[in-house]
Amino acid sequence: MVNSQGFPPIREGFSVLTLLKTLPNRGNLPTRVPSCNVPAIILLGSQWGDEGKGKATDLLGGRVDYVVRYQGGNNAGHTVVIGDQKFALHLLPSGILTPEVIPVIGNGVVIDPAVLLQEMRGLNERNVDTSKLLISANAHLITPYHVTLDKVSERFLGNSKIGTTGRGIGPTYADKISRIGIRVQDLFDESILRQKVEGALLSKNQVLVKVYNRRALEVDAIVESLLEYAEALAPYVVDTALVLNKALDLNKVVLLEGGQGTLLDVDHGTYPYVTSSNPTAGGACTGSGIGPTRIDRTIGILKAYTTRVGSGPFPTELFDADGERLRTIGGEVGTTTGRARRCGWFDAPIAKFATRINGLTDTFLTKLDVLTGFDRIPVCVAYDVDGTRMEELPMTQTGFHHAKPIYEDLPGWTEDISNARSIEDLPANARSYVQFLEDISGTRISAIGVGQDRDATISLHDLIA
């Protein structure tokens, strides 16, 4: 088979290297070309987080070489269930539970060193090896003043609060963008660290004292507390972008794992009710140092219904017994903060949006089992925005706040599907539901989750090959 230029298509196993060897060397250009197997894959949340990214990453862990967190911090809570063992991960990539995987915390992540070391210790106590962890020297550090500022600024917002996780995420990213952040590499140069903390506290102390009525922070105390982590973190710190690109050169498979979800993205989400980073596909490039041409797969993790934690608009939110039932059966309680998650029906305009914004190639539909037993399952197919039917997300925040769901009811099923391992094992109505979501969201559904466990999954298309 050949394409329009007469070359065999790359996906058919043709090597660009072979092609370029046949071309004349162009002047001083390097002759080495990247491998064309492009084995970097993004896995991200398609809704407001908690879609089941942890389980999906863990499931793929056995077939990848590196798993990289590319943004967010310990605002994330990823639950992974393996047999009778349950793990809650916050900063460490979910691939850490697969012994062969090299887990990486990329430059786009914000790290609370105390939380990271505690998480590593907790896993070590359960015989999970964390020694292969790689941490980017460019990742920013969450310090105690970031956590304080997160909490006090939320308090001051009153009814308009974002409902953050209170982990210091927003203030740390704000400092990064303002160029007054402290990075992992600063831990290894005391005089630079001191200079940077002094610089940051100049403005922080003004704000803490004059706006929030708090005590000023001492430079020495902050520097000393940060230096305490230097020795413990040093063995893990590398130039992760270099390591990952070299791994790709050697055809290693790199999985880029997002925290949060598409609608929590600071650029594309329901701003200002978002997190302060880019969980969407573009964030995977900036947060890891891997260029877009080296990524050939983007997998969206999509829950069969919708949940959200914290404040902000949520058109399909349920305040009735159905919502309570989703919460109870789905175990919809925050892994990080223990807050009850807001629950609602599936929202197709959101799924379509996630497909588009992330250029999804595949969807992993999770928690289908939670819908078992509902007589009818409404799916929001469009919104009524002030009398106008809209198939897509409204352009403005006000429009989204006014969006009322327009539902199409699908018939439910009563059979227990938790042991289904192939699509044929699903009752006809469950299959129709999946087909309806695939058609309306515009991405093929390649896997379906029917339970918490790693194995409770139906595979339709290979997510890696």
Residue whose C-beta lies closest to ligand IMO? 310
Task: Give Cα separations from 307 to 51, 225, 241, 334, 445 (angstroms).
Answer: 8, 37, 33, 10, 20
Hunting for tokens 């996630």 — which residue is that?
Answer: 354
Among 47, 53, 145, 311, binds ligand GDP (CB under 6 A): 53
Rounded Cα–Cα distance for residues 367 and 418 (Å): 10
The residue from 39, 40, 41, 52 that contacts ligand GDP (CB under 6 A) is 52
- Least separation, in Å, of the C-beta of 76 and ligand GDP? 6
The residue assigned the tokens 């914290």 is 310
Q: Where are the alpha helices (DSSP H) in 102-143?
A: 113-125
Q: Does 186 bind ligand GDP (CB under 6 A)?
A: no
Cβ distance to ligand IMO smaller for residue 146 or 294: 146
Residues at the interface with ligand IMO (CB under 6 A): 45, 48-50, 75-78, 162-165, 167, 169-170, 259-261, 264, 275-276, 309-310, 335
453 closest CA partner among 44, 54, 50: 54
Regarding 165 and contact with ligand GDP (CB under 6 A), the answer is: no
* CB-based burial label for 37 (10 Å; 0-12, 13-18, 19+): middle
Contacting residue, 254, 451, 458, 463, with ligand GDP by CB under 6 A:
451
With beta carbons less than 8 A apart as the criterion, state whether 236 and 134 touch: yes
The residues pairing with 67 across neighbouring beta strands, listed in sequence order, are 103, 255
Residue 464 · residue 60 · CB < 8 Å: yes
Q: What are phi and psi of 343, to 5 degrees?
A: -125, 150
Cβ at position 96, least distance to Mg ion in Å: 16
**Interface pick for Mg ion out of 36, 41, 45, 50 (rule CB under 5 A):** 50
Nearer of residues 43 and 295 to ligand GDP, judged by Cβ: 43
240 is a contact residue toward ligand GDP (CB under 6 A): no
In the complex, the smallest distance separating the C-beta of residue 287 from Mg ion, rounded to whole angstroms, is 18
Binders of ligand GDP in range 68-97 (CB under 6 A): 77-79, 81
Say which of 78, 90, 140, 268 is annotated catalytic. Answer: 78
3-state secondary structure of 134: strand
431: three-class secondary structure by DSSP:
helix
Instruction: Label residue 223 exposed, middle or buried (CB < 10 Å: 0-12, 13-18, 19+).
Output: buried
| Residue 83 to residue 106: CA distance in whole angstroms | 29
Q: In the complex with ligand IMO, which residue's Cβ is closer, 276 or 298?
A: 276
| Minimum CB distance to ligand GDP, residue 169 (Å) | 15
Residue 367 interacts, among ligand IMO, ligand GDP, Mg ion, none and using kind-specific CB cut-offs from 5 to 8 Å, with ligand GDP
Position 54 contacts ligand GDP (CB under 6 A):
yes
Q: Which of 149, 226, 367, 394 binds ligand GDP (CB under 6 A)?
A: 367
- Give the interface segment with ligand GDP, choosing from 47-55, 123-131, 149-157, 437-445 (CB under 6 A): 47-55
Compute the distance between CA of residue 8 and CA of residue 5 in angstroms, rounded to an integer: 9
Q: Give the span between the Cα atoms of 370 and 341, in whole angstroms.
A: 15
Is 78 labeled as catalytic in the residue annotation?
yes
Q: Find the binding residues for Mg ion in span 301-330 (CB under 5 A).
A: none
Residue 452 contact among ligand IMO, ligand GDP, Mg ion, none, beta carbon within 5 to 8 Å by kind: ligand GDP
Active site residue 150: no
- How many Å is the maximal CA-CA distance in the chain? 71
3-state secondary structure of 176: helix
Footprint of ligand GDP on 308-337 (CB under 6 A): 331, 335
State which of residues 52, 72, 77, 287 lies at the interface with Mg ion (CB under 5 A). 77
3-state helix, strand, coil in the chain (%, to 5): 40, 20, 40
Binding span for ligand GDP by CB under 6 A among 46-54, 158-166, 372-380, 424-432 = 46-54
Cβ-based neighbour number of residue 33 at 10 Å = 14
- In 277-296, which positions are buried (b, 16+ CB within 10 angstroms) versus exposed (e)? bbbbbbbbbebbbbeeebbb
Q: Which of 75, 354, 452, 458 binds ligand GDP (CB under 6 A)?
A: 452
Q: Which residues bind Mg ion (CB under 5 A)?
A: 50, 77, 335
Residues known to be catalytic: 50, 78
Q: Which residues bind ligand GDP (CB under 6 A)?
A: 45, 49-55, 77-79, 81, 331, 335, 366-367, 369-370, 449-452
